[in-house]
């Protein structure tokens, strides 16, 4: 009698492992961006700063970070960027600082955008895979259809990358 609840717990745990856990794992793998399967790289928040950026009309503060491969390419002025390059653009809401009029600080994170260089996998898009994430979830396919079109039209001469290194 007293053992029975324990067995129930064990059975429930097993049921969880067999049913919920694999679907969770599947979901994690499926969190890559539509069209490209790009995921948020582990540890990107510790990467080096390439440059900040700002765009009129967007009430955001932005920075672009790069992994080691990206930073080496920037320093050596290597173009096109080698396979393994990853660029991450972070954006936050632009929030007034209460203490000083006219000063702004980052508020809520808005998007994390990623470009991954893999010249074999992403042949049709200049060798770049794109990912746009909001609260860690990939944006829809329609948004991912716009990425390369704009980068291609405006940044082709710099391997489809807008950002230059800010020394
Ligand atoms: C309308 C044009 C436009 C579209 C569409 C666009 N971008 Fe960009 N992207 C830019 C510009 C301009 C920059 C330069 C930095 C900035 O403005 O913040 C940039 C910068 C970036 C960067 C930093 C590297 C670089 O090229 O400077 C990444 C990563 C990025 N975009 C990813 C994406 C992703 C992912 C999408 C699609 C979901 C996307 N972009 C769609 C214009 C665009």
Q: Per-residue pLDDT tens for 26-38?
A: 333 448 999 999 9
Neighbouring CB atoms inside 10 A of 112's CB total 19
The closest-lying atom of ligand 1 relative to the alpha carbon of residue 139 is: 38
Output the CA torsion 95→50→133→37 (10° steps). 180
Distance 133 CA to ligand 1 centre (A): 13
**Would you say residue 149 has pLDDT above 70?**
yes
**Would you say residue 126 has pLDDT above 50?**
yes
**Would you say residue 86 has pLDDT above 70?**
yes
- Residue 10: C-alpha distances to residues 2, 13, 21, 22 (Å): 14, 5, 15, 18
**Tell me, what's the pLDDT at 10?**
55
**Tell me, what's the pLDDT at 11?**
52
- Residue 65: C-alpha distances to residues 3, 28, 112 (Å): 55, 24, 11
**Tell me, what's the pLDDT at 7?**
59
Pocket test for ligand 1, best of 58, 127, 139, 147 (most atoms within 8 A of CB): 147
């Amino acid at each position: 009698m007293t053992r029975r609840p324990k067995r129930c717990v064990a059975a429930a745990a097993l049921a969880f492992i067999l049913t919920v856990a694999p679907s969770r794992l599947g979901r994690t793998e499926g969190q890559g961006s539509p069209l490209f399967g790009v995921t948020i790289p582990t540890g990107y928040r510790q990467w080096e700063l390439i440059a900040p950026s700002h765009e009129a009309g967007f009430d955001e503060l932005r920075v672009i970070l790069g992994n080691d491969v990206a930073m080496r390419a920037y320093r050596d002025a290597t173009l096109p960027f080698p396979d393994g390059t990853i660029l991450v653009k972070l954006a936050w809401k632009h929030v007034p600082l209460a203490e000083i009029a006219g000063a702004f600080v980052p508020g809520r994170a808005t998007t994390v955008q990623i470009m991954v260089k893999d010249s074999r996998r992403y042949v049709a898009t200049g060798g770049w895979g794109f990912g746009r994430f909001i609260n860690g979830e990939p944006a829809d396919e329609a948004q991912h259809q716009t990425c390369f079109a704009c980068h291609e039209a405006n940044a082709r001469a710099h391997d489809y990358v807008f950002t230059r290194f800010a020394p």
